[in-house]
Structure 1
Amino acid sequence: MQCLIHGFIFSLFYGKEAMVIFGGKAFTREAIKAGESSGLKPAFRNAFEFCRQWMNGAHSFSIRTSGSTGTPKEISLTREQVLASVRATRRFFEIGKHSHLLCCLDTEKIAGKMMLLRALEWEGSVRVELPTANPLENSAHESFDFVAMVPLQVAACFEHPQTREALDRIGILIIGGAAVGPGLRQRIQELPGKVYQTYGMTETVSHVALANLKSSGPVEYRALPEVRLAVDGTNRLCIQSPMSGDDWLVTNDVVEMTSSRTFLWKGRADFVVNSGGVKLHPEEISQQIAPLVQELFPSSNFFLTGIPDAGLGEALVLILEAETDALRGEELLEAAKALLPKYWNPKAIRFVPRFCWTSTGKIDQFRTLASWEDE
């Protein structure tokens, strides 16, 4: 019902035909298919061309990974894989026709491209905006049935009265690209719509599992329809799905299976700090200390990593996006020591005034560490 209401309101402005609105300029599907791009702003040219290729039956697509945790690479995806992803998301959320979507992610990456294709395949309308910190600023008066954002964007929308109200008018909000911190998750409880954290990657054609952020307890991911899950001998998540191909895909993510279709994410298997012979998973420890960081350094981003150490080989350190505050930093380390199991506690805090980010809204740890080392 909510989708139909939003679709009706949208039709008052743009008519009954589903449209793709690039930066305020509306195009019909027929116009896009024919390549009629009169009035299109140059910044949206690649997104328009991607839609045109899709509507003319393109069978394969080359997409570049984000490179937030390694070297970016090109991934080739088939039309069948993409359609499987689009349909699985639709089934999971039971989305009907005439829905109104907002695409505010980088359309050069998989998350942005999938928002375009969901609108086209779901026979809905989509407003396409360039990625900004607050993606609802230009459309605060509108109501959206389905929106995808990164955590930074959601947090920014909460900070302004108009966009805060606009969040209330989103039927389904999915959040990906990075983990949602405890402070933001607490604010999400106020929203009337559905809010889910995504799990996926370019190789799985966007998300293959979703976690309800409005539920209590740990963030538990549930597989989309037709997605099969398993773990290998090292507890790495293995995925078989129509969107990732027929073969099993072995990921670098360490998980705890809570059922045959649900899991808790622990961290990346290839991101291990060997500190004095003890193997530490920084992402798992980050989840444990996130409430402490939120309490002492509200709204500050952080991550844990290893740095060379003469005695330990590697020392676990906390990299915090904040101005140097030695007193509160020491308080945080002491609180973490009391909370964490033996050997898990960070040995030091390094303050960085401003983190570097990828275009998909993830912390770029390599560039952030490089900027800190250069200072």
Structure 2
Amino acid sequence: MIIFGNRSYTPEEIKAGKKSRLAPEFDAAFEFCRQWLNGTPFFDLQTSGSTGIPKTVQVTRKQMHASVHATGRFFGIKKRSRMLCCLDTEKIAGKMMLVRALEWQGDLVVNLPKQNPLENLLDYHFDFAAMVPVQAEACYDDENSRNALNQIKVLIIGGAPVSPELREKLKRVKGKVYQTYGMTETVSHIALADIKSDGPLVYQALPLVKLKVDKENKLCIQSPMSGEGWLLTNDVVEMISNRSFVWKGRADFAINSGGIKMHPESILEKLSPLLQEVFPGRNSFLTGIADPKLGQALTLVIENDEDIERGNHVLKEAKRLLPRYHDPKSILFIPRFSFTSTGKIDQLRTLASWERG
């Protein structure tokens, strides 16, 4: 059964297109479910656009089917599980929650995306749910919804990396919590990392997924979810085994400063405790700004009004905390960041807004 808002539909009703009293905002999700149940072989999906111009990707029913059943095997999902979809059903993550419910013959509550998706579902006990980091943090930070969060048996989090601070919070919840690795082209995730583990997050490949790296340590994937052949990603990883890896950062975000190549995501993780102490609750990222001597100067971007005194303190402490030449040379304050619909910081739009003044 699929529950759109407060109206329930059986698979038979959806297949037949019987959507009486369905709120208009759920039309697209209902139609996707109808197409799936009627055997539509291809679907057009749009990428998030967080690292470039959004594009349309066509995936097959076979790919989506493989993804659903690999995830089911990984977690041992049973039929009639109760599930929550609080993601944008126009994007791959939301669509895959719809398919999981239909294929696992589960009961799915479909809500429109909001920052705290559990605030009106405090009495529900979910077996499986998917969120983006900002949603998981909002649920944890609210005492009432934290109790509901503790009732979720399996929670997967994707769309953006989980911050070290959020990871520490999620280690305290009762159920299983996993960070996903994947993209639209791989039809949702192909690997999962246990957020409650110690040390760096180690991603374990789903069943039937093969992994390798190219000469630049960019991850290559071969799987039923990603289609035929090997898919070369822009993600630099450290292989732990032939089925597991640690994510280091995106190759297209790599910064070459004075001949030293750095991955800003890994550096930011080391800086995170300092930033949360000095600029609590503020978003941030590292980027390379053109520099006549270094080529690119490592620059820390913070979502905050200009604060030179606290900024200078961060730069001084970063120099002490980080390896030589890996500390940011300056701080750029931008009052408001741009975000994608999946909760990722849209670095390109954020910097473009700053450049326009």
Q: TM-score, normalised by structure 1?
A: 0.93
What is the aligned partner in structure 2 of residue 87 from structure 1? 69
Q: Match of 1:166, SS?
A: helix
- Quick check: 1:208–1:223 contact (8 Å CA) kept in 2? yes
Q: Match of 2:8, SS?
A: strand
What is the aligned partner in structure 2 of residue 5 from structure 1? none
* 2:277 is aligned with 1:295: yes
Aligned residues: 357
Long gaps (5+) in structure 1: 1-18
1:307 to 289, 295, 312: 289
- Quick check: 2:160–2:342 contact (8 Å CA) kept in 1? no
* 2:222 is aligned with 1:240: yes
- Quick check: 1:183–1:299 contact (8 Å CA) kept in 2? no
* 2:9 is aligned with 1:27: yes
Q: Distance in 2 between matches of 1:362 and 1:187?
A: 19
List per-residue Cα deviations over 1:2-38 (Å, max 9, x = no partner).
xxxxxxxxxxxxxxxxx11111111111110000111
Q: Distance in 1 between matches of 2:304 and 2:116?
A: 21
One-letter amino acid of the structure 1 residue matched with residue 166 of structure 2: L
Q: Distance in 1 between matches of 2:327 and 2:161?
A: 20
Q: Match of 1:82, SS?
A: helix
What is the aligned partner in structure 2 of residue 184 from structure 1? 166
What is the aligned partner in structure 1 of residue 100 from structure 2? 118
Q: Distance in 2 between matches of 1:293 and 1:179?
A: 16
What is the aligned partner in structure 2 of residue 7 from structure 1? none
Q: Match of 1:211, SS?
A: strand
* 2:25 is aligned with 1:47: no
What is the aligned partner in structure 2 of residue 360 from structure 1? 342
Q: Match of 1:239, SS?
A: strand
Q: Distance in 1 between matches of 2:276 and 2:210?
A: 35
Q: TM-score, normalised by structure 2?
A: 0.98
* 2:347 is aligned with 1:370: no
Mean alpha-carbon deviation: is it higher for 85-94 or for 252-261? 252-261
Q: By how many angstroms is 1:160 displaced?
A: 1.6
Q: Match of 1:139, SS?
A: coil
2:211 to 229, 247, 257: 229
Moved over 3 A (4+): none
Q: What is the identity percentage for the equivalent residue pairs of Structure 1 and Structure 2? A: 61
One-letter amino acid of the structure 1 residue matched with residue 92 of structure 2: I
What is the aligned partner in structure 2 of residue 3 from structure 1? none
What is the aligned partner in structure 1 of residue 80 from structure 2? 98
Q: Match of 2:25, SS?
A: helix
One-letter amino acid of the structure 2 residue matched with residue 281 of structure 1: H
Q: Distance in 2 between matches of 1:317 and 1:88?
A: 40
Q: Distance in 2 between matches of 1:291 and 1:340?
A: 13
Q: By how many angstroms is 1:287 displaced?
A: 2.0
Q: Distance in 2 between matches of 1:169 and 1:268?
A: 34
Mean alpha-carbon deviation: is it higher for 274-283 or for 194-203? 274-283
- Quick check: 2:183–2:189 contact (8 Å CA) kept in 1? yes
Q: By how many angstroms is 1:246 displaced?
A: 2.6
Q: Distance in 2 between matches of 1:322 and 1:195?
A: 30
Q: Distance in 1 between matches of 2:18 and 2:316?
A: 62
2:129 to 147, 151, 158: 147
Q: By how many angstroms is 1:331 displaced?
A: 1.4
Q: Distance in 2 between matches of 1:322 and 1:92?
A: 41
Q: Distance in 1 between matches of 2:56 and 2:298?
A: 32
Mean alpha-carbon deviation: is it higher for 293-302 or for 20-29? 293-302
Tell me the C-alpha RMSD between the 2 structures: 1.1
Q: By how many angstroms is 1:159 displaced?
A: 2.1
* 2:307 is aligned with 1:325: yes
2:60 to 75, 78, 96: 78
What is the aligned partner in structure 1 of residue 254 from structure 2? 272
What is the aligned partner in structure 2 of residue 170 from structure 1? 152
Q: Match of 1:162, SS?
A: helix
Long gaps (5+) in structure 2: none
Q: Distance in 2 between matches of 1:48 and 1:283?
A: 38
Alignment of 1:338-357 (within 5 A): 338-357=320-339
- Quick check: 2:239–2:246 contact (8 Å CA) kept in 1? yes
Q: By how many angstroms is 1:343 displaced?
A: 1.4
* 2:20 is aligned with 1:38: yes
What is the aligned partner in structure 1 of residue 177 from structure 2? 195
Q: Distance in 2 between matches of 1:133 and 1:330?
A: 33
Q: Distance in 2 between matches of 1:159 and 1:321?
A: 20
Mean alpha-carbon deviation: is it higher for 136-145 or for 97-106? 136-145
Q: Distance in 1 between matches of 2:307 and 2:154?
A: 39
One-letter amino acid of the structure 1 residue matched with residue 124 of structure 2: E
What is the aligned partner in structure 1 of residue 187 from structure 2? 205
